[in-house]
Amino acid sequence: MAAEKKHAAYICSGCGLGERLDIDALEGVAKKDGKMQVVRTHDFLCSQGGVAMIQNDIDNDGVTHVAIAACSRRAKTEAFNFPTTAISRGNLREGVIWVRPDTDEARETTQEMAEDYVRMACAEVKAMTQPAGNPNTGTVKTLLVVGGGMTGMTAALEASKAGYKVVLVEKTGALGGWAAKLYKRVPTREPFKAPQDNGVADLVSQIEADSNIKVYTNATIAKTSGAPGRFKVDIAVESGPTVTEDIGAILQATGFNLYDVNKLPQLGGGQANVVDQAGLEALARAANGGAIKRADGKEVKSVVFVQCAGQRDTSGEHLSYCSGYCCNTSIKQAMYFKDNNPDIDTVVLFTDLRTPGNGEDFYRSAQNKGVIFSKGVVSGVTASGGGCTVKFHDLILDDKNAQIDADLVVLATGAVPNSGVNIDNPVDAPAAAPAEGEAPAAPVVEEKPISILNLDYRQGPDVPQFKYGFTDSHFICFPYETRRTGIYTAGPVRRPMDIAQAQEDATGAAMKAIQAMENAGLGKAAHPRAGDLSFPSVRLEGCTQCKRCTVECPFGAIDEDEKRFPLFNESRCRRCGTCMGACPVRVISFENYSVNTVGAQIKAVNIPDEFSEKPRILILACENDAYPALDMAAMNRNEYSAWVRAIPVRCLGSVNTIWITDALNSGYDGVMLMGCKHGEDYQCHFVKGSELGRYRLSKVGDTLKGMNLETERVFDMEVAITDMDTLPKKINEYAEMIQGFGPSPFKGF
């Protein structure tokens, strides 16, 4: 039998609330409208005495549900942490007194705002259940690292240092990756004067001596199933049996491949005396400090480095991005020649010279050794007299017909991420059928990518990719995450970077993977709602099997059972609520966030009649960017309209259209939807949430027309966390527009 619920409201008069608000009236609202069984006030609710008062009621008076009317729910989270109790927060400080002028004229509307927020907090907590946590926890604390290059080895060592077991899988016969093929690497410390040892042997020896790290070489991932804390990973070992490992989290460090030099025939790609940077490293390793010789055995006496070969291309034919490491690599390789023989003619042709990590020190050192740097755009490389002729536009002298002869040309071709199968745009998609009377098009021979992780997910075998094939991640807030919970990426598979950056990246990703394993063992969510114990449930008797939740989940957390009903994998869930917003019959909910918890707040607001000239505007604000922006606007005392009532939502993707319909039917005059920026430069913490939400909500206009309402009464806007100064202005402009429309015709119904 469920324990009896007891609801209590606690109202703070500190931080100026008592001077600006009628606290006795708020207490009366909580009792009469909120129907709370216990209502108390305190001078400083977050103080030791205030917290003790609440805890005493929980421990000794049977209080199970607490509504706190004080500051923003983003403030004093440690003070108001009562793990066994359902908690709601009414934002009287940032949401009311800090955004309203302290004048006699504003006192009435300020009090009305505060009373509504008390009603909303009471209504929300009464619709909540305190989450008990995910019962399907996994307690495995072993990290799988896929890829044994510098990134993978660094991640494995850092996780081991933190006390965690690691399984390291490398597809080749030896650890080291691309770095093992380098003669030397770019220096990583002062004075940045000369190339240094590649560092691979040292890391390999550390791996071999570490009892926490189990290494599989000549191995690939045959299958990955399960969830954070309880992955089952089948590892296929060449000439051996398939091994199954229990894994807590996964870190993909599969690196990159060089852009194919044969795609650059205009720059000499494919010619005998033209190599890419990896080709030169092979020649340098063979020389081992001696004279570098071409493949035909001729000693190189003159060399030209062509930067941005097939990179930063605006035509769309080649790579459109900068690979980040290529300028430093060419500087390093130019030193190979100068260190052996200062008389070798060594020229670097560049459009922009980018040397991350060492300022201009390394570049200046190369200049001092006699390396010539010339700003120019290469138009062609042709075979000439046993060598090559490089034709270029000299941008310094504005000579469009400049040319240099060289024994060897080195093309800086850049990096292509080794991400696996692009599940959003598969290469092997069927071609369109030819029109009637047309001959079938010749088949395009395209090398099909090979799956890296072989995920047993209905959404596809690999993690989703961002533009250019890099694994998708939130570049601002969660740079290592993927859209598969508990699976992280690091190094050049995530974005262009050099070895030093990749090793730093590996450390950060390993720490996030550890956090995911720990949270999984406790039944808690990973980022961005780290520590959240709630998870979605579905009322199957009302489910229509429309599959919108399974399709729209950005994280692959929803499968289907044998009867084709949604089957939630709670450990994969990020708690964004996108499934809840997508459900047309509203049968998906969380214990502490549901259609009812938000709907109850919407209905709790006191709607003035059509004669009062006091509009009501509902704001549904993303808790990750928009709601913090509102709080920071309040901290800066940026005032906005008294007509608004703001409700934080987990993500714009969680917004169910019923909330908008209910608000308009209840007499609200307008609805503002505040979500994160979406698209290529998205800022949504749930990656696709705001995009999915906006697509879904784009159809609201038809509903408004059917209700004979202006379509502008529902306004969607992108909000960044930095918009604290502009956001109040936009709210005020919207409020003025709503007043111009006149009151909603649904008031009083």
Nearest to 511 by CA among 157, 170, 78: 157
Task: State the average pLDDT over residues 124-148.
Answer: 92
Task: State the average pLDDT over residues 357-363.
Answer: 90
Residues 6+ positions from 270 with CB-CB distance below 8 Å: 261, 262
Structure tokens at 560: 């289907």
CA dist., res. 101 & res. 105, Å (int)? 9
pLDDT in tens, 608-635: 988 888 999 999 999 999 999 999 999 9
Q: What is the 3-state secondary structure (H, E, C) of 660-674?
A: HHHHHHCCCCEEEEE
Nearest to 194 by CA among 362, 347, 333: 362
Check residue 520 and give its pLDDT: 92
pLDDT in tens, 653-707: 999 999 999 999 999 999 999 999 988 788 899 988 999 999 988 888 888 888 8
Check residue 192 and give its pLDDT: 93
Alpha-carbon distance values, 242 to 35, 167, 224, 236, 425 (Å): 62, 14, 13, 4, 30
Whether residue 527 is predicted with pLDDT greater than 50 in this model: the reply is: yes
CA dist., res. 305 & res. 326, Å (int)? 10
Dihedral Cα 238, 244, 248, 251, nearest 10 deg: 10
Residues 6+ positions from 45 with CB-CB distance below 8 Å: 10, 11, 12, 14, 51, 54, 68, 70
Cα 646–Cα 661–Cα 544 angle in degrees, nearest 5: 115
**Which CATH superfamily groups domain 258-415?**
FAD/NAD(P)-binding domain (3.50.50.60)
Check residue 531 and give its pLDDT: 86
Check residue 698 and give its pLDDT: 84
Check residue 702 and give its pLDDT: 83
Task: Spell out the alpha helix ranges (H) of 344-427.
Answer: 361-368
Phi, psi of 97 (to 5 degrees): -70, -25
Whether residue 437 is predicted with pLDDT greater than 90 in this model: the reply is: no
Q: Which residue has the higher pLDDT, 379 or 448?
A: 379
Where are any strands of DSSP class E within 460-565?
487-489, 537-538, 558-560
pLDDT in tens, 79-93: 999 999 999 999 999
8 Å CB contact between 142 and 164: yes
Give 577's DSSP letter.
Answer: -
Structure tokens at 485: 């919970």
Numbered ranges of CATH 3.50.50.60 in the chain: 142-255+418-425+449-521, 258-415
Task: Spell out the alpha helix ranges (H) of 495-636.
Answer: 499-521, 548-552, 578-582, 595-604, 626-635
CA dist., res. 105 & res. 440, Å (int)? 77
Alpha-carbon distance values, 533 to 84, 476, 592 (Å): 11, 25, 9
Task: State the average pLDDT over residues 50-65.
Answer: 97
Burial class (CB in 10 A: 0-12, 13-18, 19+), 237: middle
Whether residue 53 is predicted with pLDDT greater than 60 in this model: the reply is: yes
Task: State the average pLDDT over residues 420-426.
Answer: 80
Structure tokens at 671: 């609805």
Alpha-carbon distance values, 172 to 146, 147, 180, 200, 247 (Å): 12, 9, 12, 15, 22
Helix (H), strand (E) at residue 746: none
CA dist., res. 480 & res. 149, Å (int)? 17
8 Å CB contact between 194 and 514: no
pLDDT grade for 447, boundaries at 50, 70 and 90:
low
Numbered ranges of CATH 3.40.50 in the chain: 1-130, 607-749
Whether residue 430 is predicted with pLDDT greater than 70 in this model: the reply is: no
pLDDT grade for 748, boundaries at 50, 70 and 90:
low
Helix (H), strand (E) at residue 58: helix 48-60
Task: State the average pLDDT over residues 151-174.
Answer: 98
- CATH match of 530-590 with 1.10.10.10: no
Check residue 446 and give its pLDDT: 52
Q: Is the dihedral of CA 442, 446, 448, 449 positive or negative?
A: negative
CA dist., res. 95 & res. 356, Å (int)? 44
Please name the residue that has the structure tokens 């590996």. Answer: 506
* 289, HSE (Cβ side, Cα atoms, 13 Å): 3
Residues 6+ positions from 241 with CB-CB distance below 8 Å: none
Task: State the average pLDDT over residues 571-585.
Answer: 94
DSSP character string of 627-657: HHHHHHHHHTT----TTEEEEEES-GGG--H
Relative orientation angle of helices 150-161 and 200-209, to the nearest 10 degrees: 40
CA dist., res. 385 & res. 360, Å (int)? 36
CA dist., res. 435 & res. 627, Å (int)? 53
8 Å CB contact between 130 and 85: yes
CATH fold of 1-130 reads: Rossmann fold (3.40.50)
Structure tokens at 711: 């379509």
- Looking at the chain, the whole-number percentage of residues with pLDDT higher than 90 is 83
8 Å CB contact between 122 and 115: no
8 Å CB contact between 216 and 222: no
The length of the chain in residues reads 749
Q: Which residues pair with 377 in a beta bridge?
A: 393
Burial class (CB in 10 A: 0-12, 13-18, 19+), 447: exposed
Check residue 749 and give its pLDDT: 61
CA dist., res. 403 & res. 306, Å (int)? 12
Numbered ranges of CATH 3.30.70.20 in the chain: 530-590
CA dist., res. 323 & res. 344, Å (int)? 28
Structure tokens at 290: 């001696």
Q: Which residues pair with 293 in a beta bridge?
A: 299
CA 635 remoteness from chain centre: 27
Q: Which CATH architecture has domain 142-255+418-425+449-521?
A: 3-Layer(bba) Sandwich (3.50)
8 Å CB contact between 630 and 638: no
Average pLDDT score, the chain: 93
CA dist., res. 67 & res. 30, Å (int)? 9
pLDDT grade for 135, boundaries at 50, 70 and 90:
confident
CA dist., res. 275 & res. 408, Å (int)? 8
DSSP character string of 237-270: ETTS--EEEEESEEEE---EEE--GGG-GGGTTT
CA dist., res. 26 & res. 630, Å (int)? 23
Q: Which CATH architecture has domain 607-749?
A: 3-Layer(aba) Sandwich (3.40)
pLDDT grade for 724, boundaries at 50, 70 and 90:
very high
Task: State the average pLDDT over residues 141-150.
Answer: 98
Edge to edge, what strands does the sheet with 274-276 contain?
A: 274-276, 408-411, 302-306, 345-350, 372-384, 387-394, 399-406
